Amino acid sequence: MVRQAAGIVLIFLVYFLTARVSLGVGSINHSGLLFWPPSGLALGALFLFGYELWPGVLLAAFFANLSIGIPPPMALGIAAGYMLESLAGAYFLREHMKLNPLFSRLQDSLAFILTSFGSTVIATTAGSISLYLGGQVTQDSFAQTWMTWWVGDSLGVLIVGAFIIRWLCRPRFYKTLWEVVEGLVVFSSLIAVSVLIFWTPVSSIANIPLIYLLFIPLIWMALRTGPRGITLALLLISATATMSLFLNHGNVTLINGASDLLLLQIFIGTVAIIFLLFVSIVEERKEVMESLRDHISKLEEAVERVRAQDEAKNEFIATLGHELRNPLSPIISATELIRQNGVREEDAKLIDIIQSHTQTLARLLDDLLDISRITRKKFRLQKEVVELQSVVHRSQETVDAFLKTRGHALLVSMPQKPLWLSADKVRLEQIFVNLLFNAAKYTEPGGTITLTIAEAGDRCLRISVKDTGIGIDQEMLGRIFEPFVQANVPRGRVGSGLGIGLSLTKRLVELHGGTIRAESLGRGKGSEFIVELPISPNLQLQLPHAPAEVPTAREAGGLKYPKILVVDDNEAAAQGLGALLKHLGHEIEFAYDGTEALQQIQKFAPDVVLLDIGLPGMDGYQVARQVRQERGSSPVLIALSGYGQAEDKRKAREAGFNYHLTKPVGIRDLEQLLTS
């Protein structure tokens, strides 16, 4: 209550003093007022501090009019008009327009301009009628009185009201030294231009009205100081023009040299409207740019997080592949050794199942690593001239065990004449293997898979893998090649997997310059995958003459590399591989860390060292470097690693390894190296 009373007293004093000064200026000049500041003061106060201050406005307006000799009834009518004007304007801005007092939106400036010219109709009409009824205004002069009053009152709200609201809503602000200097310069230039225009008899230079000079500092302020600077600038211009009228300096001449108060009012009102709108547009643009910068910053942070997460994911996949390959190695070695020792027919089928699923696990790990490398654009094809038929035969051998466990029949149809492609032999085989595995997984046991290869024109090869499986829904055909997307099959059946095989196949086909698509008539009607690859009939001419076949070391009698040292910190993997090599006739020794490996090489003098990379303490690269420094090119070093990317193979070569094998290692891989 005390605070409310203090507010009413304060608004009464400020309004009364401002009104007395303004009325004094008008009475001295005998030409009316340029603008009526108390109206803007009242509206701003009620908007910012509450409607309950209205008694202060009513009393101040009443006593101010009494002080210049206006009769009490007329003074009360005029005061009531000003009080209702400020209440209506403040209510409209707060409740209906939700005005942001910072004037940072175009809609805020439009709402305030509308209020300035709308709410003042109340005070103008009430005051003009009061003067008319009191005999102060005749019927003939009523319209002119109303218009002059309304324009001055509107300018008061527009200029002073905007200044009060903008400056008092956030009175404190902080500027840098450069911004302070810039502000002083621009306001000094504005005052200088205003004095030149309104306080001197010079109205134009070279027939160009000086009034246009005002736009230079105003535009500068709108761009640099915002609504706070513009509202102050408009107040300074209006105050300078008013003081010119009060002191009778200059001609206050405007365009065409007309010395007219209404024309001056219209000019200042137009400038105020233009720059309030302009500065709001500038502020909106600044907010949009700031928001855009903030979004860009957040987007960059998000991209960086995604990049870091992607790197972590790739590192995790590589580590996962390494760690999962280690236990696969002894499984493969053990099953091959069991098969070498001879087993019953029913046990052989169980071993086929174990080997088939172990190979599937190894293939899934390879697919994971390959798709990761392709995504990171670290994947390169090693192209050479390849005979397609030989690739197809190797692919058949790879999937044969899995097809047997499923009871599938594989029908192959391809031309008898050799077909030559410029391709990566390993990746081309991977394409066939992935498509055949995919067909086998999604075909019920006892199904039929048909591989058809035919020339489709002179420079195109058409490869079709068709099955009698579960088929693909039409809505899935467009998504089947997306990473981690699978046909909707019951979880737990053989058809489930990671959903990356077809995505990887598509990438590999495209890297070879080809295309792949899927076709299906729907559920239960099988599916067909069609690959088209470019071929060239002239590639065969580029092939070097094949050397005459020579017998391998085993065929010639004896072993080329009789003594082998197996080094692996995984004892089960080392023992399994060693047992398999012993069965083949090799003399075997073991080591389980880098230091022991160097000691065994010195003591055992092996012909070949199968050396694991991920050893504790001294890793395989360090062991290889030391062996090469001490013993030169002997023995043959074969790297065994769960990491099989190009970078890993490069590091192995640089360390001195002769060959690099990726775990799990089968007997075929070793025999190929040991007999070559």
Tell me, what CATH number does 326's domain have? 3.40.50.2300
Number of domains in the chain: 4
Residue 144 and residue 12 share a domain: yes
Euclidean distance between CA atoms 273 and 256, whole angstroms: 22
Closest alpha carbon to 620 in 580, 582, 581, 648: 648
Supply the pLDDT for residue 543.
Answer: 43
Place 373 in a pLDDT band, splitting at 50, 70 and 90: low
Residue 295 lies in a domain: no
Residue 10 and residue 84 share a domain: yes
Euclidean distance between CA atoms 309 and 593, whole angstroms: 33
Domain boundary among 172, 205, 233: 172
Classify 659 in phi/psi space as left (phi over 0), alpha (psi -120 to 50) or beta: beta
Euclidean distance between CA atoms 565 and 600, whole angstroms: 8
Euclidean distance between CA atoms 123 and 61, whole angstroms: 11
Closest alpha carbon to 60 in 33, 32, 41, 34: 41
Domain boundary among 130, 145, 172: 172
Residues 6+ apart with CB under 8 A from 4: 50, 52, 53
Supply the pLDDT for residue 371.
Answer: 66
Place 622 in a pLDDT band, splitting at 50, 70 and 90: very high
Place 165 in a pLDDT band, splitting at 50, 70 and 90: very high
Mean of pLDDT over the chain: 82
359, pLDDT greater than 90: no
Residue 459 and residue 399 share a domain: yes
Supply the pLDDT for residue 272.
Answer: 93
Residue 440 lies in a domain: yes
Residue 296 lies in a domain: no
Residue 658 and residue 527 share a domain: no
Lowest average pLDDT, out of 120-129, 217-226, 461-470, 659-668, goes to: 659-668
Residue 164 and residue 16 share a domain: yes
Q: Which amino acid is at 645?
A: Q
Residue 634 lies in a domain: yes
Residue 30 lies in a domain: yes
pLDDT tens figures, 297-344:
999 999 888 888 877 777 776 677 666 766 777 777 777 777 767 666
262, pLDDT greater than 90: no
Residue 414 and residue 563 share a domain: no
Residue 523 and residue 557 share a domain: no
Residue 36 and residue 64 share a domain: yes
What residues make up the domain containing 105? 1-172
Residues 6+ apart with CB under 8 A from 564: 581, 586, 587, 588, 589, 606, 607, 608, 609, 610
**Average pLDDT rounded to a whole number, residues 575-582:** 83
Residue 508 lies in a domain: yes
**Average pLDDT rounded to a whole number, residues 178-205:** 86
Residue 254 and residue 314 share a domain: no
Q: Which amino acid is at 416?
A: Q
Output 496 or 392, whichever has higher pLDDT. 392
Place 625 in a pLDDT band, splitting at 50, 70 and 90: very high
Residue 646 lies in a domain: yes
Using a pLDDT cut of 70, give the percent of the chain over it. 83
221, pLDDT greater than 80: yes
Residue 286 lies in a domain: no
CA angle 291, 295, 298 (to 5 degrees): 140
**DSSP annotation string for 415-460:** -SS--EEEE-HHHHHHHHHHHHHHHHHTS-TT-EEEEEEEE-SSSE
Domain boundary among 155, 172, 189: 172
Three-class SS of residue 486? coil
Euclidean distance between CA atoms 166 and 276, whole angstroms: 12
Euclidean distance between CA atoms 594 and 33, whole angstroms: 100
339: number of Cβ within 10 Å: 15
Q: pTM value?
A: 0.54
- Six-digit token pair at 31? 């030409």
Residue 438 and residue 345 share a domain: no
Tell me, what CATH number does 513's domain have? 3.30.565.10
145, pLDDT greater than 90: no
Closest alpha carbon to 516 in 428, 450, 392: 428
Residue 432 and residue 507 share a domain: yes
Supply the pLDDT for residue 280.
Answer: 93
Residue 561 and residue 536 share a domain: no
Supply the pLDDT for residue 345.
Answer: 67
Supply the pLDDT for residue 565.
Answer: 93
Supply the pLDDT for residue 498.
Answer: 56
CA angle 119, 121, 125 (to 5 degrees): 140
Cβ–Cβ < 8 Å for 535, 419:
yes
615, pLDDT greater than 50: yes
Output 555 or 461, whichever has higher pLDDT. 461
Euclidean distance between CA atoms 581 and 591, whole angstroms: 15
**Average pLDDT rounded to a whole number, residues 522-545:** 72
Tell me, what CATH number does 112's domain have? 1.10.1760
